[in-house]
Amino acid sequence: MKEIIRKKMAASPVLRWTVLGLVSFTMLTGYVIADVMAPLKTLLEQQLGWDSSDYGLFTSGYGWLNIFLLMLIFGGMILDKKGVRYAGVLSVGLMIGGTLLKYWAITADLGGAVSSFSIGGHSLFSVKSQVLYATLGFAVFGVGVEMIGITANKAVVKWFRGRSLALALGINVAAGRIGTAIAMFGSLPLARMTGNPGAPLAVCLLLLCIGLLSFLVFCVLDRREDRETETLPGTEKEEEFKLSDIVKIAKIKAFWYITILCVLFYSAVFPFLKYATELMIQKFHVSPGFAGAIPALLPFGNILLTPLFGSIYDRRGHGATIMLIGSALLVCVYTLFAIPALTANWMAVVLVLVLGAALSLVPSAMWPSVTKIVPYRMLGTSYSMIFWIQNWGLAFVPLLIGVVLKNHCIAGTVVIDGVVSTRYDYTLPMLIFAGFGALSIVFALLLRREDARKGYGLEKPNDELQTNSTTKTQIP
Ligand SMILES: N[C@@H](Cc1c[nH]cn1)C(=O)NCC(=O)O
């Protein structure tokens, strides 16, 4: 065990909250683009001649570079080595570059060109060039947006550790949810109004440039603060991140518990949203025109509740218990979704709202808790390792649910909007999500036990820890 002296918590509250506003706004602009194409699936098929597999390929592009080329992990290491300013500007640059490529692909007339890939004369696969370029653009964007996620978290920790940290991180998550809500509600009307599926992307690009400006203003404030803090008496420079720190992180049991809890929990929520509209139509008999509005309630609930639960964690503690309650709610929600006899509309609304509460509880406690388990200098890499494993779940669980639906859940046909469609029985997928929830409970319990053993302080108020740890913190 080693002790280092932390930088003094300088900065006025006004400056701290200004910094949070600037960084969170940049996050918001990135998260709008992450979801902006999701409501346009039908429009892409109608206007650009895409089919479902083109759309599936394009959507999956988000995780390609992050997962397979380990870009997320490299992003975390760059963040720890070079700092939040460098990593943030790089992230926004990648998001702008990726979105420009995607916008060009969607709006250019490529004359129906097809790109084919073959090895030794054997054709592997061919894909519409437009889809390929749009997917590559989304893949580059995916690296940037995941990196801004970890960078924003680390920047918030840098400015808020010990002072309303969970509230600040909760507001940052809420900013991301506002971005998702804007995309879910604004994208389709704008594309329809202009008759151009590229129009929402053009607006997003403009928004992202404002996000870049916002981050640049943050950089000026952050650099000034760094200079002032360095000159404070009694302030020692923090140890630099080393590659060997990855091994140190990997040896922390609680880190793995929180990582596994993260992948299980998020795999039970975000992939559910990809099927939620169909579930509303087929199980709860909601009209197709209104069905998307029920799952869209989810981010709205989060916008208020995540900061609220964060603030409770700051003042009262119980971080591990909050994660436990959030996981338990998942089991309740999906078990009720699985019961075939429950088909009332209001029930679907209530269950989505409770799911929203779960999606507020767990992130509000999870991201601040990581700061109690790993030292600040390793935080970028730790967040990136957690996000990397989480991205596997986010990429493959929707696929798993699709395969399960296709092979085990077909229950005849149903007429939707005058079109005969396959009818699915969603009981099994809902039980799978409930299973993820049950496993999340196990890992939340393990985390709580480990906390009791090692004394990370997950059950203690963050603000109380501040008085003990503003100057000194224990480093494993
Ligand atoms: N790694 C991200 C994944 C994501 C993408 N869009 C929404 N979430 C993440 O976990 N961000 C934190 C969060 O709670 O959304």
Residue of the nearest CA to atom 11 in ligand 1? Answer: 149
Q: Angle 129-160/71-82 helices, nearest 10 degrees?
A: 30
User: pLDDT of 131-181, one tens digit each?
Assistant: 999 999 999 999 999 999 999 999 999 999 888 999 999 999 999 999 998
Q: How far is the CA of 113 from the centre of ligand 1 (A)?
A: 34
Please tell me which of 84-98, 105-119, 182-196 the model is most confident about, judged by mean pLDDT: 84-98
Looking from the CA of residue 391, the nearest atom of ligand 1 is 1
Check residue 1 and give its pLDDT: 34
Check residue 5 and give its pLDDT: 37
Check residue 402 and give its pLDDT: 86
- pLDDT of 7 higher than 60: no
Q: How far is the CA of 119 from the centre of ligand 1 (A)?
A: 37
**Over the Cα atoms of the chain, what is R_g?**
23
Q: How far is the CA of 364 from the centre of ligand 1 (A)?
A: 12
Looking from the CA of residue 390, the nearest atom of ligand 1 is 1
CA distances from 332 to 11, 240, 283, 325, 436 (A): 43, 44, 18, 11, 12
Looking from the CA of residue 146, the nearest atom of ligand 1 is 1
User: pLDDT of 249-270, one tens digit each?
Assistant: 999 999 999 999 999 999 999 9
ipTM over 0.90 threshold: yes
Looking from the CA of residue 145, the nearest atom of ligand 1 is 5
Q: Tell me the average pLDDT of the chain.
A: 89
| pLDDT band at residue 111 using 50, 70 and 90 as cut-offs | confident
CA distances from 76 to 73, 165, 379, 452 (A): 5, 20, 8, 29
Ligand 1, residues 62, 266, 392: which to mutate, most atoms within 8 A of Cβ? 266
Q: By C-alpha distance, which of 435, 169, 440 is closest to 320?
A: 440
CB atoms within 10 A of CB 206: 11
Q: By C-alpha distance, which of 156, 476, 407, 445 is closest to 327?
A: 445
Check residue 468 and give its pLDDT: 36
Indicate the fold that domain 11-118+125-224+247-474 takes in CATH. Growth Hormone; Chain: A; (1.20.1250)
| pLDDT band at residue 234 using 50, 70 and 90 as cut-offs | low
| pLDDT band at residue 3 using 50, 70 and 90 as cut-offs | very low
More reliable by pLDDT, 235 or 186 = 186
E strands in 101-253: 114-119, 122-128
Check residue 176 and give its pLDDT: 95
| pLDDT band at residue 474 using 50, 70 and 90 as cut-offs | very low
- pLDDT of 471 higher than 60: no
Q: Read off the pLDDT of each residue in 360-376 and give the average, rounded to a whole number.
A: 96
Residue of the nearest CA to atom 12 in ligand 1? Answer: 173
Which amino acid, residue 198? G
Q: How far is the CA of 270 from the centre of ligand 1 (A)?
A: 9
Q: How far is the CA of 233 from the centre of ligand 1 (A)?
A: 39
Q: How far is the CA of 195 from the centre of ligand 1 (A)?
A: 30
Q: How far is the CA of 396 from the centre of ligand 1 (A)?
A: 15
Looking from the CA of residue 359, the nearest atom of ligand 1 is 14
User: pLDDT of 407-446, one tens digit each?
Assistant: 998 888 888 777 787 888 999 999 999 999 999 999 999 9
Residue of the nearest CA to atom 13 in ligand 1? Answer: 173
pTM of the predicted structure, to 2 decimals: 0.89
CA angle in degrees (0–180, nearest 5) for 218-220-223: 105
| pLDDT band at residue 75 using 50, 70 and 90 as cut-offs | very high
3-class state of residue 316 by DSSP: helix
Distance CA 53, CA 30 (A): 25
C-alpha neighbours within 13 Å on the C-beta side of residue 67: 14
CA angle in degrees (0–180, nearest 5) for 100-102-108: 95
User: pLDDT of 184-225, one tens digit each?
Assistant: 888 888 998 999 999 999 999 999 999 999 999 999 999 998
Q: Where are the chain's structural domains?
A: 11-118+125-224+247-474
Q: How far is the CA of 187 from the centre of ligand 1 (A)?
A: 20
Q: How far is the CA of 7 from the centre of ligand 1 (A)?
A: 29
Residues with CB under 6 A from ligand 1: 34, 146, 149, 173, 176, 266, 363, 387, 390
Residue recorded with tokens 């009791």: 452
Q: Read off the pLDDT of each residue in 26-38 and give the average, rounded to a whole number.
A: 93
| pLDDT band at residue 57 using 50, 70 and 90 as cut-offs | confident
Q: By C-alpha distance, which of 37, 73, 75, 72 is closest to 56?
A: 37
